[in-house]
A and B are shown apart, each in its own frame.
Chain A
């Protein structure tokens, strides 16, 4: 394969980056106090009748209960959903009003596909660092069960025109434009508008391009289930999760799955590629419903409220790739964002103690790792002397990730930030420096958002 195009970090950008680093030193810290999410449920399961607002409110109320935030005026709450009803135009503010927080807590919605949750954390952390707010709640929610269904374009135009005309004959004339096919509803799909391909089909291209084997994907899926189940058994989620609608664990988790069982599943994506299809329902995330929240604060606010300080939000970076013309895979943006973020912070992959690479598909994680290990990709696409490097796999998604937990799009960022913050806090220091974690989340539209957290 050949890679062309500009380097990820040119000389100019490096010097700017250094200036940015120095600037950051004078800012105050934004700390992760903790988090709360509801268990994630496979679509059509326990949360079939729950709206985004219901679930986000439940996640908020659990956070409020955990940290005693009743009647507290939080600096700002930001959350979002990928699949949104038009009535959810003020989703987060409505959830705040339905929660035990002070009604004087402002809120805004944010939407960046699957990166929504992580981007709310980064945006709010920046406001805290700048001194604009002292406390914040970041979050995300998604329901594929309670998805919005729109009327067809034809019906929509007729209805709008009907509202504009005044007389009965005019109305009848507008109505006469209706055709039976206009009455069919327009359901949402996860296909990319510019390619018409689903995310899974896109990833199948990338998986094949990087020659990721079925066995490697199944192994990653198996590890995810095993690690998540072990984390539950160890009580890791006791202060990260509040049950909801009878669910006490993520319903997608298969604690008893085996490599043999995963090997029996039939491929579902990439069946027309010519190459062997390797992506199954077992090594791809299912559609999921759920919500997550993260409490962020300045050190002073956390201290004044006698709350824990688990981790510091160090830095974040977004990237996007040109998948439309096939230059890069749809979900490969983090492969570019991470090297840029590491360089700006003077770090290498070896300086990271926990890698939280969101498992949209096992193939996504493995393609990203393969790209980082690839000499040519490193030279031609990342502008490095060679490969970015490889990671110690024992540091990867140690408490499971989306393949096991499920992936309610906008809720994944909050899940990862809260879990990683707790892991970093428990780890404490490594070689005399704070333990460090890297988060990478790919998103629709060829985007990716990544972040670094450190133990406080």
Chain B
């Protein structure tokens, strides 16, 4: 699925030509394979706080090659910048400039991860400034990194330690190739909820997961990824897509449920099927979505209403059934697919962007409702993803759209699926009400 341009400029003469002409030089990103090394080299943990030491110790317990001080000219797989004790903006200088000396030593597809605290919880203006400063720093650094390297940040709420389950879970996700197309993003760890999986290659073992819109594209990739991570799958799509759905179900050794999610009883049917056939329900991924693009001036009720009905109203109704169910109480996870269109807007997509903006609002407001059952709900907002849908965009428009991000390429359905699989796992229990963008740090809507 790597686009032809990326293949061309990744090696040989194409690489030289692109370099001489100053053309974009996207690289083929390192993607997750079970059993592969977490990062492509040693990890440098920068920061002098006790929690930096604790973090380094945790990484050592994962059998990783960890450095507390840079070794000159040694290629690095990742730099972790622990900034959890900033009191004023001037405190940034020490760790940041120390890390700066190692930026050139990053391997292709390396990772930079900052660990800081929420500005909202800062005790005073100076510490708030310092904490908020990390935001601009990280996003700018992400734009400076080359060759598939990314920079993302973990933001701890007050009282949450650097080694809380979800902090370590998010760190592992950002370090790994699972986050290949996530760049310039932050995940806030709201609490010490969650637990790390016994087997990091099978984080969803024993879970039963429902994926809507699973017949093709991103939905099918989500089903495959959750299956790879150990989950038992119920794949859902409209009856008219049943043949593709059956093929996905048979591939992931799950069951197919042909169901129009806009039906009044869709939530109950999903619960009944999952519990009836597989004994439980742990994860619901709201992926089903449609586009009916039209400039607002030309919008008709059919186009508007169908998009709202499928993309957000159905999710709300299914969530009501889930929240009312005794079968969805054991640390459940809901992950919704939003879109960068819902953040930045997109010409011709007022209906779609309204629905996807709605998803993000819904996720934030639903998070507290799931808290007492140790549940979480989050959204993933994909940017330009190479799918059958985007393949139909005219060539020039598509070519521009896929280069307009820090990684200078479109993402793959699997990239979205990886982020969803992470948020669907036990390790993400402390992350809720969040929107994680999978967009390669798209220049629009940042």
B253 contacts the other chain (CB 8 A): yes
Most chain B C-beta atoms within 10 Å of own C-beta, residue among A100, A241, A243: A243
Instruction: Kindly state whether residue A308 has any CB partner on chain B within 8 Å.
Output: yes
Q: Judge whether A65 and B245 touch: CB under 8 Å.
A: yes
Q: Are A64 and B250 in contact (CB under 8 A)?
A: yes
Contact across chains for B253 and A68 when beta carbons are under 8 A apart: yes
Question: Judging by beta carbons under 8 Å apart, are A100 and B250 in contact?
Answer: yes
Closest 7 CB pairs of A and B: A65-B246, A65-B249, A65-B256, A100-B250, A68-B255, A242-B242, A248-B240
A124 CB to nearest B CB, Å: 22
Interface pair B246/A61, CB less than 8 Å apart: yes
Docked complex Cα distance between A17 and B95 (Å): 92
A237 within 8 A of B: yes
- Please, which residues of chain A bring their CB within 8 A of the CB of B277? 68, 306-307
CB distance from A180 to the nearest CB of B (A): 46
Q: Provide the A375-407 mask, 1 if CB < 8 A to any CB of B, else 0.
A: 000000000000000000000000000000000
| Beyond A65-B256, A68-B254, A248-B242, 15 extra complex contacts between A and B, CB < 8 Å | A61-B247, A64-B246, A65-B245, A66-B246, A66-B256, A67-B255, A68-B255, A70-B253, A235-B239, A238-B259, A238-B260, A242-B258, A248-B240, A306-B276, A306-B278
CA distance A306 to B208 in the complex (A): 14
Say yes or no for A426: interface residue by CB 8 A criterion.
no
Say whether B239 contacts A241, CB under 8 Å.
yes
Partner of B239, one of A65, A70, A71, A243: A243
Report the minimum CB–CB distance from A241 to chain B (whole Å).
7
Decide if A409 is an interface residue (CB 8 Å cutoff).
Answer: no
Among B247, B259, B278: residue with most chain A CB under 10 A: B247
- A65 in contact with B260 given A238-B239, A243-B243 (CB within 8 Å): no
B94 at the interface (CB under 8 A from A): no
Chain A residue nearest to B256 in the complex (CB): A65
| A238-B258 contact given A244-B243, A307-B277, A308-B276, CB 8 Å threshold | yes
Taken together as a complex, chains A and B put the C-alpha atoms of A308 and B273 apart, in Å, by 10
Asked whether A235 and B242 contact (CB < 8 A) given A66-B255, A68-B255, A70-B250, the answer is: no
Interface residues of B (CB under 8 A from A): 239-243, 245-247, 249-250, 253-260, 263, 276-279
CB of B239 within 8 A of CB of A237, answer yes
**Residues of chain B within 8 A of A71, CB atoms compared:** 253
Tell me whether B276 and A65 are in contact (CB under 8 A). no
A146 interface residue, CB < 8 Å from B? no
A–B pairs, 26, beta carbons within 8 Å: A58-B243, A61-B246, A62-B243, A64-B246, A65-B245, A65-B247, A65-B255, A66-B249, A66-B255, A68-B253, A68-B254, A71-B253, A100-B250, A235-B260, A239-B258, A241-B239, A242-B242, A242-B256, A242-B258, A243-B241, A243-B242, A243-B243, A248-B242, A306-B276, A306-B278, A306-B279
A70, B279: Cα distance in complex, Å: 18
Q: How far is the CB of B215 from chain A (nearest CB, A)?
A: 10
Whole-angstrom distance from the CB of A296 to the nearest CB of chain B?
A: 18
CB-nearest residue of chain A to B248: A65
Q: Find chain B residues with CB under 8 A from A244 CB.
A: 243
Instruction: Give Cα A244 to B246, complex, Å.
Output: 11
In the bound complex, what is the Cα–Cα distance between A67 and B276 (angstroms)? 11
Q: How far is the CB of A315 from the nearest CB of chain B, in Å?
A: 29
Minimum CB–CB distance from A310 to chain B (whole Å) comes to 13
A248 pairs with B239, CB closer than 8 A: yes
Which residue of B239, B245, B247, B254 has the most chain A CB atoms within 10 A of its CB atom? B239
Return the chain B residue nearest A70 by Cβ: B253
- B residues in contact with A243, CB < 8 Å: 239-243
Contact of B242 among A68, A241, A306, A308 (CB under 8 A): A241
Given A242-B258, A306-B278, verify A235-B246 contact (CB < 8 Å): no
Expressed in whole angstroms, the minimum distance between the Cβ of A64 and any Cβ of chain B is 6
Q: Which residues of B sit under 8 angstroms from A70, Cβ to Cβ? A: 250, 253
Cross-chain contact A235 with B250 (CB below 8 angstroms): no
- On chain B, the residues within 8 Å of A306 by CB distance are 276-279
Q: Nearest chain A CB to B51's CB is how many angstroms away?
A: 46
Closest-by-CB residue of B relative to A66 is B256
Q: How far, in whole Å, are A58 and B245 apart by their CA atoms in the complex?
A: 12
> Cα distance A321–B258 when bound, in Å?
43
Tell me which of B240, B246, B257, B277 has the highest count of chain A C-beta atoms within 10 A of its own C-beta: B246
Report the minimum CB–CB distance from A305 to chain B (whole Å).
9
In the bound assembly, the distance between CA atoms of A307 and B279 in angstroms comes to: 11
CA A334 to CA B210, docked complex, whole Å: 46
Inter-chain CA distance A308–B276, complex, in Å, is: 8
Contact residues of A between 145 and 173, Cβ < 8 Å to B: none
Contact B246 A242 (CB under 8 A): yes
What's the least CB distance linking B213 to chain A, in Å? 16
A62: chain B residues at CB < 8 Å are 242-243, 246, 256
Closest B residue by C-beta to A67: B255
A287 to B242, CA, bound (A): 25
On chain A, the residues within 8 Å of B256 by CB distance are: 62, 65-66, 242
